[in-house]
Amino acid sequence: MTPAAHALAAIEVLSEIESRHRPAPQALKDWGGSHRFAGSGDRARIASLVYDALRSRASIAWRMGAETPRALVLGALVFTRSADATALAAAFGSSPHAPEPPSDAERSAMTSGDSLEGAPAHVRGDYPEWLDVPLARAFGDERAEEGEALARRAPLDLRVNALKGDRAKAERSLAHLKPIPTPLSPWGLRIPLSDDGRGPPVQAEPAYLKGLVEVQDEGSQIAALIAAAAPGEQVVDLCAGAGGKTLALAAGMRNTGQIYAHDSDVRRLAPLNERATRAGVRNFQFRSPRGGADVLSDLVERADLVLVDAPCTGAGTWRRNPDAKWRMRPSALEQRMVEQDAVLEAGAPLVKPGGRLVYVTCSVLSEENEDRIAAFLSRHPEFRSVPAVEAAVSAGLPAVAAHANGAGDALLLTPRRSGTDGFFVATLSRS
């Protein structure tokens, strides 16, 4: 397929997303299913263009003066990929498998400079207008810049698994992918993306297949490192999901002690077994839900560490899921807040005196972060906040201390501040 044919396909996929309210991954999958001639490289290029358009939807619409799928794709090519408008016009007119050539109005929008002057913060920051108030709470006058950084492409980060080797060994194994050590996580490697934003298929690499590396954003690695699970400890991973952080915790524990991997949704836990086998993790056991039974009752006041990687809106991961940012509704935020209070309540009794509870979200919204911790502490005087600097230094990550939130009682990572996905990490210790 030609680049123009990729653009036409991206327009079709975006139309499907808009008109039938299909989630982007589903719409892309459907398109691939009904266009079998497109190979995996073509499908990846189309997906990358669709995601570029979605990331910058509001600012592209402002510049193009239209929010149609076609305007979004033209704008993504010109404004985020620096395509030349004249060359595009020539390529687009040349084949039946290409979009119509740009109209005069489109050409003038594409070449009239990149001015977002006068645009409101939610347009400059590419987020839904209703989130302007929550984001102003989190970032004040810097919300547009934070939004802009959340609208860029995410890097491809790997975590080197200490149970299988060190960073130098992984760098040697992946040398052909030109990995670069990540600045904050001592276990992170960043793999450069192609010009159109695609990463190499790392899952086919021997280093991945042998469990030496896992795909994990540097922010997620830091959240696990701050939890600082030590060898021999009893650790409850209360919202373990597919186990991204479980595996990182196990690496820090050198396969000693015990991790109890729990999640209210048993289907989410399913991939963990295979991932743990590949990573050589042996010190974990599942605590899968069994009807209404309390599967954690034997762990009350026994855990050195309870990690609460809470369900959240994912507002820190918009770089990877730009579709989710436009779909997010106020009711979803309210629902997540209720769930966050519930998981904190479920985790608290498991912490032994002197133990710690680490609360993590991949959101940047204070409603899901500082507010939940403040509400929890008001209900639980037996817990106190550990200052972020103290938590970072004692986890051996002094550079991370620079990313404390305003009050200094938690870490707030963002693409703009730390070059990672957005993460909030609060450490609470029990008296």
> What distance, in Å, lies between the first and last C-alpha atoms of the chain?
63
Comparison of 61 and 215: residue with beta carbon closer to ligand SAM: 215
* Interface segment toward ligand SAM; rule CB under 6 A; list 1-9, 53-61, 259-267, 381-389: 259-267
**Is 239 designated active site?**
no
Rounded CA separation 203/210 (Å): 10
Say how far apart CA 227 and CA 427 lie, in whole Å.
7
- 222 and 244 Cβ atoms separated by less than 8 Å: no
Q: Tell me, residue by residue from 335 to 354, as one string, x for binding to ligand SAM by CB under 6 A and - for no binding.
A: ----x--xx--x--------
Residue among 137, 169, 198, 268 that touches ligand SAM (CB under 6 A): 268
Binding mask 284-323 for ligand SAM (x = CB under 6 A): -------------------------x-x------------
**Residue that has been written with the tokens 């276990």 in this structure:** 187
Segment interacting with ligand SAM, rule: CB under 6 A, options 102-110, 171-179, 242-250, 376-384: 242-250
User: Rule CB under 6 A: is residue 261 a binding residue for ligand SAM?
Assistant: no
- Output 69 or 243, the one with its CB closest to ligand SAM: 243
Nearer to ligand SAM, 198 or 268 (CB): 268
Give the DSSP per-residue string, 166-203: -HHHHHHHTGGG--EE-SS-TTEEEEPPPTTSPPP-GG
* Cα distance between residue 41 and residue 64, in whole Å: 29
Closer to ligand SAM by Cβ: residue 84 or 265:
265
d(CA 138, CA 344): 22
Among 189, 240, 337, 428, binds ligand SAM (CB under 6 A): 240
Neighbours of 17 (CB within 10 A): 22
Is 263 marked as binding a ligand?
yes
C-beta closer to ligand SAM: residue 155 or 244: 244
**Alpha-helical regions (H) of 65-197:** 69-75, 85-92, 104-111, 121-124, 132-139, 143-150, 167-173
DSSP conformation class of 396: T
Contacts with ligand SAM by CB under 6 A: the residue count is 18
Pick the binder of ligand SAM from 230, 242, 375, 401 (CB under 6 A).
242
The beta strands (E) that lie in 194-281 are given as 213-215, 234-237, 258-262
CA distance 102 to 53: 17
Write down the least CB distance from residue 10 to ligand SAM, Å: 29
Instruction: Report if residue 244 touches ligand SAM, rule: CB under 6 A.
Output: yes
Quick one: 143 or 325, whose CB is closer to ligand SAM?
325
Minimum CB distance to ligand SAM, residue 268 (Å): 4
Dihedral of CA 209/171/217/192: which sign?
negative
Separation CA 87–CA 192 (nearest Å): 27
Is residue 126 part of an annotated ligand binding site?
no
Point out the catalytic residue in the list 53, 276, 362, 395: 362
Tokens of 136: 């102003």
Q: Which of 55, 70, 167, 245 binds ligand SAM (CB under 6 A)?
A: 245
The set of catalytic residues is: 362
Q: Which chain residues interact with ligand SAM by CB under 6 A?
A: 238-245, 263-265, 268, 309, 311, 339, 342-343, 346
Binding-site positions for S-adenosyl-L-methionine: 263, 309
